[in-house]
Amino acid sequence: MAIHPIEFRYGTPEMKRIWESENKLQRMLDVESALAQAEGELGIIPQEVADEIARKANTDYVKLERVNEIEAETNHDIAALSKGITEVCENGAGEYVHFGATSNDIVDSSNSLLIRDSIDVLEEKVERLTKIMLELAEEYKMKVCIGRTHGQHALPTTYGMKFALWADELHRQYERLEHARGNVCISVMDGAVGTTAALGTDGWKIHKTVARILDLPPAKITNQVLQRDNHVEFISTLANIASTLDKIALEIRSLQRTEIMEVGEYFDPEKQVGSSTMPHKMNPITAERICGVARIVKSYVNAALDNNPLWHERDLTNSSCERIMFPESCILTDYILNLTIKLMTNLVFYDENIERNLNFTNGLIMAERLMAELTRAGMGKQTAYGIVRKNAIKANREKLLLGELILEDEEVQKYLTEEDVEKIMDPHTYTGSIEIIIDELLEDAKTWF
């Protein structure tokens, strides 16, 4: 019976396939195969033995059920793996399985393969989402809306600015994934305390040859385990990606609030139900799920940090944690990437509300522009600030139009005409360098992927 929501509710098939038990077993078998091949290549074991081990190190021969049976008896997963291979090898080849290795050589190297495969999936999704943001930035480059600071109406901005900002951040996340790949996807085959003692001076050659066969960089030095600062970087990168998706979803949720309702996620009126008791509800459930699951991914950073300090050359406290942390963080990050792609692909705009909110303050959002234009016309900046502030406070308190009120000020009349103020008070024309900023980013983005 399924217990964890990942089993039936959260996750994509492509990421779950990477972390399912049979594939994890295959990746460990891949490492055992690479070890045998390396030892055969260097003449440490007979070549025909190496070939037999490599041929049988496959889930077609080594069955998950049998390995689990052995582990239930031995209470040791890699010992069970080794015996499982030994049982299916012919002509005594099984006697050479796992020669010179220690358990964590297999665990860490196979985890490197699994994480590499996971990064491939994640990078594809981050790239896809980035390109969606770039397309939205181009399409809505000059769609003027109110910008908010501290939750208050501030100045006009555009939806293109929001999307371009997110695209730029997502591209940085893509680069962080690439950097993490280089540090965490590493092969190790160094023995019990990292000295390769069981294989003597040939051990370092085996270490590098196994890495070549697995197509992974070899670790420069270990004490049996790959140092977990690298895994901290990987989990922190996933948490960072989750925080970006959280940010995006939170903004969409806020903009979908009833009193704002500028944009929102698509709601299927024919099939979708918003509430079991309130028939009118159309809730931002996709965005809310992104925000909720992101909290779980972010929570693994502390666990990853705690896995770095181990007793002496190593202990086992990281192992149980990583059995949970690696698959869950990868599966859940991939899942909310998928949700964010869905959210942004089907985003709904409410143009009337965007315009309504832009003009909600009766022109108060144009106070900065009034001050700037008065200064350009010859009034001192501090004087202009004081006059505009005085009139803005009055307009806000008495619910008056700032543009009309400012024209009654005798000092203002010396510098601005009614036509000047009318132009100044149009929020659609107060967009600064937005078009230049977005165009430059879009041009730069052509080199991103």
The neighbouring-strand residues paired with 152 are: 149
| Model confidence at 11: pLDDT above 60 | yes
Tell me the average pLDDT across 220-248: 96
Out of 96, 120, 143, a domain closes at 96
Distance from the Cα of residue 343 to its chain's centroid = 15
What's the CATH number where 77 sits?
1.10.275.10
Same domain, 22 and 114: no
- Note whether residue 415 is domain-resident: yes
- Note whether residue 272 is domain-resident: no
Percent of the chain with pLDDT over 70: 96
Q: pLDDT band for position 291 (50/70/90)?
A: very high
Same domain, 284 and 158: yes
Domain assignment of residue 50, given as a range: 14-96
Active-site option among 150, 276, 320, 433: 150
Same domain, 344 and 425: no
Same domain, 230 and 321: yes
The amino acid present at 190, given as its one-letter code, is D
| Model confidence at 434: pLDDT above 80 | yes
Residues in the chain: 449
- Note whether residue 273 is domain-resident: no
- Note whether residue 119 is domain-resident: yes
Which pLDDT score is estimated for 62? 97
Q: Is 98 a catalytic residue?
A: no
Which pLDDT score is estimated for 408? 92
Same domain, 88 and 126: no
Which pLDDT score is estimated for 274? 63
| Model confidence at 322: pLDDT above 90 | yes
| Model confidence at 108: pLDDT above 80 | yes
Active-site option among 4, 21, 275, 428: 275
| Model confidence at 265: pLDDT above 90 | no
Q: 0.85 cut: is pTM over it? A: yes
Give the lowest-confidence range in 208-217, 323-332, 389-398.
389-398
Task: State the Cα–Cα distance between residues 430 and 141, nearest whole angstrom.
Answer: 14
Q: 198: how many CB neighbours lie within 10 A of its CB? A: 15
Task: State the Cα–Cα distance between residues 53 and 228, nearest whole angstrom.
Answer: 30
Which pLDDT score is estimated for 277? 58
Same domain, 68 and 129: no
Same domain, 116 and 255: yes
Same domain, 421 and 367: yes
Same domain, 183 and 327: yes
Which pLDDT score is estimated for 320? 92
Q: Is 179 a catalytic residue?
A: no
Which pLDDT score is estimated for 171? 98
Contacts of 59 (CB under 8 A, 6+ apart): 22, 25, 26, 29
Same domain, 289 and 149: yes
